[in-house]
């Protein structure tokens, strides 16, 4: 229980700021029915320079439910604290005391300490169940900055044009661009009209109400558990993925190894070589005693998009190198028969080119 002086502060601070009237539950953090002590519930002892930190958020959105007098007893509070303790997670509690209330994203300082406070993705005053990004400033149009509307615009703040991308990270805004030869349909419907491995309800173009032709970042990035809060907070899978996706070379093919891909793409179709007559051979490898010589989908495909080629083709330079003639490229030779040529060297085999 809080001391009497703290309770008085909560009451006074909460009573001086106008909140939504009873029954207006669109913005629960500023609804007196949701938080009886009003603004003071969160803002007593609040550091406005740093945005308050994320510890205050998990006092309600954590493993333990807060005392009934502070939060509506009927409120549905999901456990986000446990998500941030998983092996793969946004660094919300790994990097602390770095966030500034007036910071600008994308980052312009290549030496800044990258972080992901709750308030980088959520505005607690304006967020609603139907728009968890409400009130977040992001996309610059001319001299003004608009509010985030699309989830991908929020992700681009840190994973797009930042001058401080970590390690070997790439610009996801550039990869998802609908001007690319190919891309997963996040910003809009894709260009390829013959993705024959797609499982229902996924379609290249939406024709029926139940068709899904555009996906979101959260369809791939998020908790591995369907009962966890949605969103890329944390996961047991690498890259904060909802399913496993191995990027390792010589990975034995299985429904588990590429479970993420097989959520939308028919495994039987892929291994049956319906779209590429050497798909199975590349993924499973040739039968060799005591050795797997197949390779990951990631060796040939960029799952976000390709700025160079159709079919998401972008070769992983850690595994694939130039052909004997110095070329590293894919050339399409006909869509009706899915024909093409590859110039590259992989697993010691020179493609200069190899046709299919």
* Same domain flag for 205 and 294: yes
* Same domain flag for 268 and 329: no
Closest CA to 346 of 296, 304, 305: 296
* Same domain flag for 248 and 195: yes
Domain count within the chain = 2
What sign has the CA pseudo-torsion 13, 17, 22, 27? Answer: negative
* Same domain flag for 331 and 252: no
Token representation of residue 339? 């024909």
Token representation of residue 305? 């998009």
Residue 23 maps to a domain: no
* Same domain flag for 295 and 331: no
Residue 96 maps to a domain: no
Global pTM reads 0.88
* Same domain flag for 251 and 320: no
CA–CA separation, 167 and 329 (whole Å):
25
Closest CA to 352 of 317, 320, 324, 330: 324
Which range marks the domain in which residue 240 is found?
A: 190-300
* Same domain flag for 229 and 290: yes
pLDDT in single tens digits along all 356 residues of the chain = 444 444 444 444 444 344 444 343 468 888 888 888 888 888 887 777 777 788 888 888 998 888 877 888 788 888 999 999 999 999 999 988 888 888 888 888 898 888 999 999 999 999 888 888 888 987 666 677 788 889 999 999 999 999 999 888 999 999 999 999 999 999 999 998 889 999 999 999 999 999 999 999 999 999 999 999 999 999 999 999 999 999 999 999 999 999 999 999 999 999 999 989 899 999 998 766 556 789 999 999 999 999 999 999 999 999 999 999 999 999 988 766 678 899 999 999 999 999 98
* Same domain flag for 291 and 334: no
Peptide bond into 201 cis (omega under 30): yes
* Same domain flag for 286 and 323: no
Cβ 116 vs Cβ 98: under 8 Å: no
Final residue before a domain boundary, out of 273, 300, 327: 300
């Amino acid at each position: 229980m809080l001391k009497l002086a703290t309770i008085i502060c909560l009451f006074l601070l909460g009573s001086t700021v106008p909140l939504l009237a009873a029954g207006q539950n669109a913005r629960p953090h500023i609804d007196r029915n949701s938080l009886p002590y009003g603004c003071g519930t969160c803002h007593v002892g609040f550091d406005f320079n740093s945005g308050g930190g994320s510890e205050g958020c998990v006092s309600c959105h954590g493993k333990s439910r807060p005392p009934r007098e502070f939060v509506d007893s009927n409120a549905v509070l999901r456990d986000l604290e446990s998500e941030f303790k998983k092996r793969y997670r946004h660094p919300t509690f790994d990097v602390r005391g770095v966030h500034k209330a007036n910071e600008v994203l994308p980052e312009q300082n290549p030496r800044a300490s990258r972080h992901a406070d709750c308030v980088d993705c959520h505005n607690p005053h304006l967020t609603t169940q139907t728009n968890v990004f409400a009130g977040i400033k992001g996309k610059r149009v001319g001299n003004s900055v608009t509010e985030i509307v699309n989830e991908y615009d929020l992700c681009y703040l840190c994973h797009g044009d930042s001058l401080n991308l970590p390690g070997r990270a790439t610009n996801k805004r550039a990869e998802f661009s609908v001007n690319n030869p190919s891309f997963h349909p996040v910003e809009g419907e894709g260009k390829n009209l013959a993705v024959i491995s797609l499982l229902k309800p996924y379609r290249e173009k939406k024709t029926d109400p139940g068709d899904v032709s555009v996906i979101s970042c959260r369809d791939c990035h998020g908790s591995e558990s369907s009962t966890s809060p949605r969103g890329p907070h944390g996961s047991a899978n690498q890259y904060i993925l909802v399913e496993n996706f191995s990027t390792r070379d010589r990975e034995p093919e299985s429904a588990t190894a590429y479970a993420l891909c097989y959520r939308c793409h028919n495994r039987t179709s892929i291994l049956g070589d319906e779209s590429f007559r050497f798909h199975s051979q590349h993924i499973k490898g040739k039968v060799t005693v005591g050795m797997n010589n197949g390779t990951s989908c990631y060796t040939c495909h960029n799952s976000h998009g390709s700025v160079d080629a159709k079919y998401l083709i972008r070769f992983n330079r850690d595994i694939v190198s130039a052909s004997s003639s110095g070329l590293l490229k894919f050339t399409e030779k006909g869509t009706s028969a899915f024909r093409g040529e590859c110039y590259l060297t992989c697993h010691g085999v020179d493609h200069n080119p190899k046709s299919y």
